[in-house]
Amino acid sequence: MNTPVLYSFRRCPYAMRARLALASAAIIVEMREILLRDKPEEMIRVSAKATVPVLVSDGKILDESRDIMDWALAQNDPEDWLSRYDPELVFECETGFKTALDKYKYASRFSDVNPAEQRDIAAGFLQKLDKTLTRQPFLSGADFGYTDAAIITFVRQYANVDRNWFDRQNWPYLAKWLESFLQSKRFSFIMAKFPVWQAENDPIYFPEHQ
């Protein structure tokens, strides 16, 4: 069996959560870090969407981040992520929250959008997460799991739009949850910098070491 290939971009929250699942599952892939402004033809040929992440494995093409998460964890789930998964909460993140987040972060791309209004719409979801985290340390329960991995990279993206504003908000449990993740070895591991992929270079593998 050939080593699966992952096209990724370090700061993309979708690619980040795919890498989190691959790291949890200890599934080794050939890492192909790309530039979004200069996408390789090889990636575009296998996925017309031309967005990261894209995983290629023995003729199978997965170009949705949660499909990659599910694929990896179906093969190996040592941290029991799949049993600790709240699909409704993840769906809410991927729809209402992410829509408002995009309009907040990328307001110039939209017409007649007030970024502060979109920020506050998205904040409603974060307040819901904060309430959940008053009862348990992670969205997945006692330990970090699938639900956390599927959501936290987008919360990080939201926080980074205006970190000073974010830090002034009254969501202490959410803030602690996010900061714990940002300080974790897992986060440092999946955010390692890789050179931009060139076809002529030797392959780079992820995750070889954790």
Q: Which residue segments constitute the domains of the chain, with CATH numbers given? A: 5-80+190-206 (3.40.30.10), 87-187 (1.20.1050.10)
CB atoms within 10 A of CB 119: 20
Residue written as tokens 């999946």?
Answer: 190
Mean pLDDT value of segment 132-140: 98
pLDDT at 1: 60
pLDDT averaged over every residue in the chain: 96
Average pLDDT of 108-132?
A: 96
Quick: pLDDT tens for 166-186: 999 999 999 999 999 999 999
Q: How large is the average pLDDT for residues 79-94?
A: 97
pLDDT in tens, 101-112: 999 999 999 999
pLDDT of residue 48: 87
CB 78 within 8 A of CB 62: no
Task: Give pLDDT, residue 204.
Answer: 94
pLDDT for the residue 2: 87
Q: How confident is the model at residue 209 (pLDDT cuts 50, 70, 90)?
A: very low
Q: What is the pLDDT of residues 7-50, one digit of tens each?
A: 999 999 999 999 999 999 999 999 999 999 999 999 999 998 89
What is the Cα gyration radius of the chain? Answer: 17
Residue with tokens 């017409």: 111
pLDDT of residue 208: 67
* Ordered DSSP codes for 168-200: TSS-HHHHHHHHHHHTSHHHHHHT---PBP-TT
- Quick one: average pLDDT of 61-76? 98
Least confident window among 108-112, 127-131, 158-162, 206-210 = 206-210
Per cent of the chain over pLDDT 90 is 94
Count other C-beta atoms under 10 Å from residue 116's C-beta.
12
pLDDT exceeds 60 at position 210: no
Dihedral class, residue 195 (left if φ above 0, else alpha if ψ from -120 to 50, else beta):
beta
